[in-house]
């Protein structure tokens, strides 16, 4: 049984708490937040505190707060040489005060208030500054997820950056699609099955192989018509850049198809 203290009360903290609470291998011995009011509903299940000097003994302390305050909170911890991890995709392990053993416990998923997440499918990437701390971090990760991975800081930075592309930027493409459909009185809802299928396709197929459409085919007629249809310059810029990106990725194919090396751009 691994004992855990959670610090913080945001979305990640809430989702982690629920996953740990459901696990047979983990006990959350305490939950700290500066403001205790929004974790009060859990009062009957776990000891709550808003006094950081009153933290009790545990195997792992999990700081699930925004990046800016990790250093501050870790400096206030009233003990030394215990294992303290944060959950951030981008903060350094060195942000944690060096009086304790340090690590990272990064669930690579987007968490929303209220939305249920099946934690067993959430990839948990863990990192430790001292080698001896890996086994317990691995055990903790495996106790709530079937998808765990020891990584290093460079890999975590790459994953966090790539996550911005597949999550924030992709969602913004959905938004632009929403604006385009609305501007013509068409229903964005009609695109939802396509959105699902696009995400589903790359679960088994590489994005390279999954690609289709006018840019990949270098179908100049359709591209021209699309650009003419777009009355928003900002949407046009996105269309041009993403089309160029697809052409770049699949340039070899277009060279082969068209036998016209000079026509590429």
- Cα–Cα distances in angstroms (integers) from residue 219 to residues 214, 215, 227, in the given order: 5, 6, 13
Indicate the residue among 13 and 246 with the shorter CB distance to its own copies.
Answer: 246
Among 223, 234, 224, 226, CA closest to 176: 234
Element (H, E) at 263: none
For residue 75, with 0-12 CB atoms within 10 Å meaning exposed, 13-18 middle and 19 or more buried, which class applies?
exposed
- 124-152 in b/e form (b: 16+ CB < 10 A) is bbbbbbeeebeebbbebbebbbeebbebe
In the complex, what is the shortest distance from the CB of residue 40 to its own copies, in angstroms, rounded to a whole number? Answer: 25
Indicate the residue among 56 and 241 with the shorter CB distance to its own copies.
Answer: 241
In the complex, what is the shortest distance from the CB of residue 89 to its own copies, in angstroms, rounded to a whole number? Answer: 10
Which two three-digit tokens encode residue 242?
């993403």
In the complex, what is the shortest distance from the CB of residue 45 to its own copies, in angstroms, rounded to a whole number? Answer: 26
Distance CA 256, CA 235 (A): 30
Element (H, E) at 72: helix 67-75
In the complex, what is the shortest distance from the CB of residue 134 to its own copies, in angstroms, rounded to a whole number? Answer: 18
Distance CA 104, CA 195 (A): 32
What is the number of H-type helices and E-type strands within the chain?
Answer: 11, 8
In the complex, what is the shortest distance from the CB of residue 258 to its own copies, in angstroms, rounded to a whole number? Answer: 15
Which two three-digit tokens encode residue 199?
């995400």
CA torsion 193-196-199-204 (nearest 10°) is -90
Indicate the residue among 56 and 158 with the shorter CB distance to its own copies.
Answer: 158
Indicate the residue among 132 and 165 with the shorter CB distance to its own copies.
Answer: 165
Distance CA 141, CA 154 (A): 20
Indicate the residue among 196 and 263 with the shorter CB distance to its own copies.
Answer: 196
Other Cβ atoms less than 10 A from the Cβ of 242: the count is 13
In the complex, what is the shortest distance from the CB of residue 242 to its own copies, in angstroms, rounded to a whole number? Answer: 4
In the complex, what is the shortest distance from the CB of residue 5 to its own copies, in angstroms, rounded to a whole number? Answer: 26
């Amino acid at each position: 049984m691994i004992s855990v203290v959670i610090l913080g009360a945001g979305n990640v903290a809430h989702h982690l708490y629920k996953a740990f609470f459901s696990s047979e291998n983990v006990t959350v011995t305490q939950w700290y937040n500066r403001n205790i009011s929004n974790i009060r509903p859990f009062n009957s299940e776990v000891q709550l505190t808003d006094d950081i000097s009153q933290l009790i003994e545990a195997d792992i302390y999990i700081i699930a707060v925004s990046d800016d305050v990790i250093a501050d909170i870790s400096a206030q911890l009233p003990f030394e040489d215990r294992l303290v991890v944060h959950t951030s995709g981008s903060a350094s392990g060195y942000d944690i005060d060096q009086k304790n053993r340090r690590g990272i416990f990064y669930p690579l998923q987007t968490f929303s208030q209220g939305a249920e997440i099946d934690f067993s499918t959430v990839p948990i990437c863990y990192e430790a500054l001292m080698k001896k701390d890996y086994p317990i971090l691995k055990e903790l990760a495996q106790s709530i997820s079937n998808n765990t991975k020891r990584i290093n800081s460079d890999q975590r930075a790459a994953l966090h950056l790539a996550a911005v592309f597949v999550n924030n930027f992709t969602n913004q493409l959905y938004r632009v699609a929403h604006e385009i459909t609305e501007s013509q009185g068409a229903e964005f809802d009609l695109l939802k099955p396509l959105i699902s299928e696009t995400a589903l396709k790359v679960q088994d197929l590489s994005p390279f192989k999954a690609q289709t459409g006018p840019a990949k085919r270098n179908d100049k007629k359709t591209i021209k018509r699309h650009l003419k249809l777009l009355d928003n310059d900002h949407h046009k810029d996105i269309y041009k850049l993403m089309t160029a990106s697809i052409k770049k990725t699949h340039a070899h194919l277009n060279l082969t198809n068209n036998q016209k090396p000079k026509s590429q751009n």
